Copies of this chain bind each other. A is one copy, B any other.
């Protein structure tokens, strides 16, 4: 915006805040603000209400650390879900992605990040103790470690495994391999080598 004032403070404020939303920059924030203002009754007012509602009601699940408007969350309280299998993820976004992709109706545990000594993130900063407690608590039969295939993700997976080695729980991880639709030519050597090693019958 130029130093000349071209719109009221409320509109400027709205644009400034929208520019902080991931996916929107300063330019698209202006476009979004204008669109919302033009669609005041269909979009701006309902969105303001939905945000206020969400801000008021959202909470962190005390069992799995999912975000929801109830505690324990919709997933932990769903009686149709298998609570003996827990998928361990870094972030809520990963939970959402797996739910979209998978037919499995299981439970989750959100770590809230990965171990990263350089950034000062140690085991106590993640939800690892609550995970161990859930396993110690009893009925968990399998933990699927669905952390990212990064150094930090794998370090975290190893640490979790070390914490659980005395407990009678099966620990699995996601398969490495060629992405569906992917071209071999563009794949890195690590992935290709992993896909070869884990080859399956045709």
Q: Which residues of A contact B (CB under 8 A)?
A: 1-2, 4-11, 13-14, 17-18, 20-24, 28, 30-38, 40, 43-55, 57-58, 66-70, 73-75, 78, 92-93, 95-96, 99-100, 105
Kindly state the separation between the CA atoms of A40 and B58 in the bound complex, as whole angstroms: 9
User: A39 — nearest CB in chain B belongs to which residue?
Assistant: B20
Interface residues of chain A: helix, strand, loop or mixed (majority): helix
Please state the number of chain copies in the assembly. 2
Q: CB distance B57 to A52 under 8 Å? A: no
Q: B residues within 8 A CB of A23?
A: 23-24, 28, 31-32
Q: B residues within 8 A CB of A45?
A: 51-52, 55
User: A28 — nearest CB in chain B belongs to which residue?
Assistant: B23
